[in-house]
Structure 1
Amino acid sequence: MKDLREAIQPEEPEDEVMRLGLALAGMVPLVGPFVTEGAAHVVQQRVARRNRENFEAIVLAVEELWRALDSQMTLEEIVASDAFVAGFERAMRVAGESESAAKRQRLANAVATAALDPNFDESERDGYMQLVERYSDLHVWLLAFYCNPVGWLRGNGMEGAADDMIRGGLREEPLNDALRVDRARAVPAVTAALEDLQRDSVLGAFQLTESVGDRKQFNPQTTRRGRRLLRFIREEHPDQMQPPMR
């Protein structure tokens, strides 16, 4: 086998999409059959295009990691592996439901890691894939930021916010600077995402409203599990990730 695309080309659910389009258009009063079929065709084309894009992203991610790891697995072995099949099916389903291009790429990277990286066992692969499916761009950025808040701030031109002369302060201050908000705790999406990450044990337990000394507001908070998750989705440079909220 010379081309991974030949082995895993997904079937495009044209009939199912057509039925969906017809059903949706049929709910609108006074819509004629020509308009109804036209709407279904538009939906069908968009879904098919999205499926192709997601498929291509997975193929490219697998091929890139295959070369980077100098894997001894053949393409036939990759395609036949349970890890690849399970990851591929899950990623295609979730990617088709996501508006975020970044999330679709994370899913593709996760499939590649699950199929090729021997450093992740079956239980880890399943657990991390579930998190990748659930997490938004904000979840993943917060994990990246808290790997090294000082490094992220300095790497993004905010040396003053991470100045060595700063001593104590509120836990939320570095996050406020990174997001360029007055109070991160007042942003519902941020507080909800932090709660999710802490509940999943990928981020340590802390309160944004807590006052601390000795520069502890800059302490890393991402746990080993969280760092492993970032590796699973191939985010190897957390300090380069940009927040999705700006």
Structure 2
Amino acid sequence: MTAPQFDQGRHWRAKLGFIVLSNEETVEDDVFRLAPPGVGVHISRVQSADEMTADTIALMRNNLCYSASLLLPGIPLDVVCFTCSGGTMAMGEDVACAAMKEACPDAQATTVIGASIRALKHIGATRISVLAPYPPFLNEATKAHLQANGFDLMAYHSLCYETNAQITNTAPEFIYERAVEIFRSGSDALFICCGALRSLEVIDRLEQRLNVPVIASNQAMMWDCLTICGITDSISGYGRLLGTRDC
């Protein structure tokens, strides 16, 4: 009788853990779509509410460590990532990463907004136009965070939504049209902030129309996670950042 044969499993290149909001419908689809062969995508959810308020963000912060602990217990992850930009900026990136590291000490902890900042710097952008969906208190936090990281906001436009459902159900064509409308000449890049927006579908078209790189939250997040793992596969159809890995 032949002895059992073992290999490294399907996820032999990297294991990525993502913490998404309990009522989120976009991020999970996007990360599975973007993951190259041999890269595992593992999902946990953190308790949240449809309305975006200071109280609901506090709820996320208090449960983030527990949610991270549910990602492949006993099996080391390469990266663990919190996928809510607004929540991260409101609670602080250091707070979010510390909570994830407590549960996943062997993994590199990152966040979607941290990934977006690194992606914008990678392409050499300093002057940016920004499209976001947030209510007023998160808009102020977003502007302050981007400016603190050295970006000149040539334009900042918010859809001023109050609920996650509004963000998730915004049609990609509307995102495209509004992005074209708010983009300011002289910007080095367009940044579409928030992983719940279905922006993957329009990145390529926007780059062709605006003739600048477009950074969108989930695209930047996957780029960052793969970069941390030393994976440099080109992934076509989602902008220059992933398509060439060299902007």
| Superposition TM-score, scaled by structure 1 size | 0.24
Q: Which has the higher strand share?
A: 2
Structure with a larger share of its residues in helix: 1
User: What TM-score do you get using the length of structure 2 for normalisation?
Assistant: 0.24
